[in-house]
A and B are shown apart, each in its own frame.
Chain A
Amino acid sequence: GAVVSQHPSWVICKSGTSVKIECRSLDFQATTMFWYRQFPKQSLMLMATSNEGSKATYEQGVEKDKFLINHASLTLSTLTVTSAHPEDSSFYICSPTGGAEKELFFGPGTRLTVL
């Protein structure tokens, strides 16, 4: 399967700070990137979709000014959680796709804890 990496794998930050999460597709070009988050004991929820070179589209209830997504290249997308608060503590997972394959792959996830 495709190789997807996320960095960092976990991060702890103070309330009010910003955190950047990177997602890289190592062996294919990701024209589209999906970002999910998962709260404890819950399932994955889609946050936003981004196409390379375009602005991301956000799901209902997800603040676009709080979760900044950059998808400037076909191998890298970043999610920045701005002014993080404890309620943003979650497991963030990216899913890049090149559009041609029918197998969607996921990154290993980033555990964010906001104190």
Chain B
Amino acid sequence: DAKTTQPPSMDCAEGRAANLPCNHSTISGNEYVYWYRQIHSQGPQYIIHGLKNNETNEMASLIITEDRKSSTLILPHATLRDTAVYYCIAPPDGVVADSWGKLQFGAGTQVVVTP
């Protein structure tokens, strides 16, 4: 996997946008960037993934820089339920599940949304 670097923690006011950065300067051309979050005592929840283009779904937006060395996850209107640890992961390239599916979780970013 490409090594990813995230800030250890971030506070965000409820209703405001939360911008979570991730550095993945060693990412290779075919490695996707995935974002997951883990609410306390629950399994990780898939948020979004992307390769080169920016992506948006009902949960978040993913902005990937042109050189693909970093990305930003945007939660447009943070709620208290968004308090969680957010993981940015770049699994190894490959179409075989038992290779690329092994996710190496770093420490992630602890996001605390406050009223």
Chain A: how many interface residues by the 8 Å CB criterion? 28
Interface residues of B, dominant DSSP = loop
Chain B: how many interface residues by the 8 Å CB criterion? 23
* Max count, chain B CB within 10 A of own CB: residue among A46, A51, A106, A109: A106
Interface residue? B102 (CB, 8 A): yes
Contact A32 B41, CB 8 Å, known A1-B46, A102-B49: no
Interface residue? B106 (CB, 8 A): yes
**Interface residue ranges, B against A (CB under 8 Å):** 32, 34, 36, 38, 41-46, 49, 87, 96-98, 101-108
**Interface residue ranges, A against B (CB under 8 Å):** 1, 4, 6, 31-32, 34, 36, 43-46, 49, 51, 91, 93, 95, 97-99, 102-109, 111
